[in-house]
Amino acid sequence: MNSAERLPVLDGLRAISILLVLAAHMLPLGPKLLQLNSTAGAMGMSLFFSLSGFLIATGLLHNADIPEFLIRRLARIVPLAYAFTFLVFGFLTFDPETILLMVTFLLNYFPGHLISYNAHFWSLCVEVQFYLAIAIVVAVAGRKGVWIVWPACLAVTMLRVNEGVYVQLQTHLRVDEILAGACVATLYQKSWSGRALFPTGLVALATLLWFASSSPFTGWCQYLRPYGAAMLLAAVLCHGKTRLITFLTLRPMRYIATISYALYVIHPLSTQGWWNEGSIFDRYILKRPISFAMTFIAAHLSTFYWERPWQQAGRQWIEQRRRRRLQSLGLTHGDKQLEEPAHNVDTYRT
């Protein structure tokens, strides 16, 4: 894959994933008997993770510079994660031990410290732990080390089967959702676009598997959830100029994708305490629209006025590092392009 090429269609998938998660956490989805909230949450997170794996692997296959990789990822994840941690557990409720587990991204292995405010934080822990693991592998083996995602993905799924675990928060029992997306990245080529004979049918089949493997009623089929999400990603990438692609690349979808990380981190704050009290009418008809509005406004402000300066600082550090390396080799700006290449992995939350 040419990593310099941006894939706008991923914006739409990112938007769908965060909207599924928000719906699962903030709305009552159908009769409780159907457990659609659990299904939507699992669908949203599996697609979120699959996209992350795809973009991380794409970036490393293009540029295996580990310091640059880590700076990009940490500049993307840490500022808001830390701000949220110190705001909630430093002021709203004081808990130093939970703060330590959150800032070290180990919380997913200590579920006793998960409460309504940080119950979603486990996914950030899974992602950061994956970043560190893949960084170590690539640092040792180079770009070819990215291909470890194939045996690792199968190994994690087999471990889940052996443990009888359908949905879990610990990385070693959940990271196959990220690894499956990374597997797609190792195979993806630009030539996929428009090559499928029945692209709509492929997406429909993948969506059916994705939905079925996310439902708590399907038993062993839930072991296939990482592959359902990855199959959907691959099927969408096989589309050419179709109505689906037009929809996924609409400006509103791109905007939602842009603020998706902040939406995810911030949204529990607008559904706790008074916001979740009262009758169903009070909570979901009167209060919840305000909660959604507050969440989107806060996410917009965070994305463009808090997170963006940190990301710009990270890019400046990378550019300065490259300039110093070139100068040490006796090269000048005119000898080699110093600016950071624009590729997929910097465009989305990963």
Instruction: Specify if 2 maps to a domain.
Output: no
Instruction: Specify if 280 maps to a domain.
Output: yes
Instruction: Specify if 70 maps to a domain.
Output: yes
CA distances from 203 to 200, 208, 236, 237, 239 (A): 5, 8, 6, 10, 9
Contact (CB, 8 A) for 287 and 41: no
Instruction: Specify if 149 maps to a domain.
Output: yes
pLDDT tens for each residue of 31-85 = 999 999 999 999 999 999 999 999 999 999 999 999 999 999 999 999 999 999 9
The rounded distance, in Å, linking the Cα atoms of 181 and 229 is 8
Q: What domain range includes position 217?
A: 9-346
103 CB-side CA count, 13 A:
15
Instruction: Specify if 1 maps to a domain.
Output: no
Burial of 31 (0-12, 13-18, 19+ CB in 10 A): exposed
Instruction: Specify if 4 maps to a domain.
Output: no
pLDDT tens for each residue of 82-99 = 999 999 999 988 899 999
Here the tokens at position 335 are 């000898």
Quote the Cα angle for 122-124-130, to 5°. Answer: 105
Instruction: Specify if 305 maps to a domain.
Output: yes
pLDDT tens for each residue of 117-169 = 999 999 999 999 999 999 999 999 999 999 999 999 999 999 999 999 999 99
**Phi, psi angle pair for 2, to nearest 5°:** -85, 105
The model scores a pTM over 0.85: yes
Q: Count up the domains in the chain and report the number.
A: 1
101's CB contacts (< 8 A; 6+ apart) are: 107, 110, 113
Contact (CB, 8 A) for 251 and 79: no
R_g over Cα of the chain: 20
CA distances from 183 to 155, 224, 228 (A): 13, 15, 13
Q: Is the pLDDT of residue 3 over 50?
A: no
Instruction: Specify if 3 maps to a domain.
Output: no
CA 42 from centroid of its chain's CA atoms: 13
